[in-house]
Amino acid sequence: MTHYLSRYANFNTKEEMDAAARLHVDIHWNAMNKTDRAVLEMIRCYSVNYLAAHLKHQTIETKLGLSNSTVRRTLRKLEKLEIIERIHYVRPVMSGLGANIYVILPVVDQGKMDSGATGQEDDEDKVSQVEFRNEPSFSKSQEPKDLIKTSQPPSEKLSTTLFGRMKSLLAFSGDHSQARELYGIYKVLSGRMLKFEIYEGLEELFETFAYRATHITVMATKTKNIRSLPGYFKGVLRQLMLDGLFSDIHQEYSVSVDDFALPVK
């Protein structure tokens, strides 16, 4: 039986994930501080079995000796650098969010390297020494020549809006002209669900679904001949919404998300 975390994996093997994690660290070495690398190392080590980690903030805080605010800030930074993806895990029966799922992302474009400042950023909090047994650390390259320190043009900034992030992902497929259409599909499908009181305030969750659906769609273009990118994206997004919102109670219903949702006026 497939473990529930396996569905979120971006890699086929642990070795592929480890290689991507090391490359992320090399690319962003100057932009990352000791705390950033420690949190990424913890996510990697907790992902060795299913290539995804289901972690509470409190677990990261306790293991690394960090404050809650530092953990949250570090996770946001790793997301902004497109090193990890944070997936909100919803248990509809409990009417609330559980611990987040974290996955390490593939390095899709080595041309966009953010090395940050020339000096290494100081830690705001001291990271306690944590031993991850049986797992090699990638926090430091073995050879100086392995460090990639290509500076990024000052004008090039990571996009923080969902549309901008979706557009950046689509650029890797060779064509981002359909970004607005895909974003429109996301707005329609998420808008239908957000009309329900039970999903009030979960806009960030639906943005996560949309970004992951875009990532899956782009990766699929590498191995499949997709006739309609918007159609493929729509199907993936619907499935992610079903899995994320209704997986625990799907046997109680026999209708689709569209039949659940209110019609768009």
The Cα 87–Cα 185 span in angstroms is 20
The Cα 127–Cα 176 span in angstroms is 40
- 50 with 6: CB under 8 angstroms? yes
The partner residues of 85 in beta bridges, in order of sequence, read 103
User: Which of the 8 DSSP states describes residue 155?
Assistant: T
Give pLDDT tens digits for 79-121: 999 999 988 776 544 444 457 899 999 986 544 444 444 344 4
Phi-psi region of 122 (alpha: psi -120 to 50; beta: other; left: phi over 0): beta
- 121 with 77: CB under 8 angstroms? no
Residue 90's pLDDT is 63
The partner residues of 84 in beta bridges, in order of sequence, read 104
- 210 with 237: CB under 8 angstroms? yes
The partner residues of 55 in beta bridges, in order of sequence, read 100
Residue 80's pLDDT is 92
User: Which of the 8 DSSP states describes residue 261?
Assistant: S
Residue 98's pLDDT is 55
How crowded is residue 259: how many other Cβ atoms within 10 Å of its Cβ? 8
Residue 246's pLDDT is 66
The Cα 138–Cα 40 span in angstroms is 10
Extract the runs of DSSP E, i.e. beta strands, from 75-197.
84-87, 90-91, 96-97, 100-104
Residue 120's pLDDT is 44
Q: Of 192, 161, 179, whose CA–CA distance to 233 is shortest?
A: 179
Is the sign of the CA dihedral 241, 245, 251, 254 positive or negative? negative
- 227 with 247: CB under 8 angstroms? no
Q: Outline where the chain has alpha helix (H).
A: 14-27, 34-46, 57-64, 68-80, 162-171, 179-194, 203-220, 229-246, 257-260
Residue 222's pLDDT is 82
Q: Within the chain, which residues score under 70 in pLDDT?
A: 1-2, 90-98, 108-160, 246-265
